Amino acid sequence: MPMAPAPKEIAERLAALARACHARGWALGSSGNFSAVAGRDPLRLAITPSGVDKGRLAAAEIVEIDGTGRQVAGSGRPSAETALHLTVVRARGAGAVCHTHSLWSTLLSERCAAGGGLAIEGLEMLKGLSGVASHRHREWLPVIDNDQDWERAAPGVERMLAEQPALHGFLIRGHGLYTWGRDLDEAQRHLEVLEFLIELLARRGGADAVREGPWPS
Ligand SMILES: [Zn+2]
């Protein structure tokens, strides 16, 4: 029997977000994934399908998974990075997760990998991140290694998120950005803010532009 589609309103918003990110060059081809919690008890996550061009993604193609990653609705195949979305939702209590493969995040993730990440400070745009009230805030964006088996790598990501509760996102080396929010509105805002800041730092270029290494506590 064919599976029921994911909840309509969430599916429409996820598909529209994916198409908008494709249009901005942040999720070209079938790259990137977007998800939103459709139910908490039991956990249900609506997520973009694997292998579908984000520029043409339709709401009907959004799939729904349970807390173990098992598909419970929708006809597409869940993303290969489903395990990371579930990890962020659990570790952060997030209501939505955005993952992009922008040129600038890919470039900066490689440039900053040796230092474990990059710090961003002194920029007004930082105030778009939840809980940040001043441009003097120092935002730490860790870089983790890329992996093709996120089921296996997810526990390490979960540990990092537990150990660094102030994070708003992280980069995967040579791959892209993950960020999240309490709902889709906040996740989208964090995505726009972080993509702006990442592009700014990457365009500045040079060793001075990116302060590497974890911040002193
Ligand atoms: Zn990816």
Q: How far is the CA of 133 from the centre of ligand 1 (A)?
A: 30
By percentage, how much of the chain surpasses pLDDT 90? 85
pLDDT value, residue 4: 58
Closest among 106, 109, 90, 89 to 98, alpha carbons compared:
89
Question: What is the whole-number distance in angstroms between the Cα of residue 5 and the centre of ligand 1?
Answer: 24
pLDDT over threshold 50, residue 118: yes
What average pLDDT does this structure show over 132-147?
Answer: 95
pLDDT of 27 over the 70 cut: yes
Structure-token match 């088996």, residue found:
149
Q: Tell whether the model's pLDDT for residue 191 goes beyond 80.
A: yes
> How many Cα atoms within 13 Å fall on the side-chain side of residue 164?
19
pLDDT reported for residue 216: 41
How much distance in Å is there from the Cα of 165 to the middle of ligand 1?
A: 23
Say if CB 120 and CB 194 are below 8 A apart: no
Ligand 1 centre to CA of 210 (Å) is 23
Average pLDDT over residues 7-30: 96
For residue 215, name the pLDDT band (cuts at 50, 70, 90): very low
The C-alpha angle with vertex 97 and arms to 91 and 101, in degrees rounded to 5, equals: 120
Does 207 have pLDDT greater than 90? no
Q: What is the pLDDT of residue 89?
A: 97
Task: Give residue 210's pLDDT.
Answer: 52
Average pLDDT over residues 124-153: 94
In this prediction, what percent of the chain has a pLDDT beyond 70? 92
Please give the average per-residue pLDDT across 161-168, as a whole number.
Answer: 96
Distances (CA, A) of 157 to 43, 54, 60, 81, 169: 20, 25, 31, 12, 11
Å from CA of 148 to ligand 1 middle: 10
Angle, nearest 10°, between helix axes 150-163 and 82-92? 20
Query: Sign of torsion, CA 122 126 127 132?
Result: negative
One-letter amino acid identity for 182?
A: R
Tell me what the pLDDT averaged over the chain comes to. 91
**What pTM was estimated for this model as a whole?**
0.92
Q: pLDDT value at position 5?
A: 57
* Cα-to-centroid distance, 178 and ligand 1 (Å): 9
- Of 14-28, 117-131, 195-209, the range with the lowest mean pLDDT is 195-209
Range 4-27 average pLDDT: 92
Task: Grade residue 205 by pLDDT with cuts at 50, 70 and 90.
Answer: confident
- Name the CA dihedral angle for 91, 19, 101, 121, rounded to a multiple of 10 degrees: -70
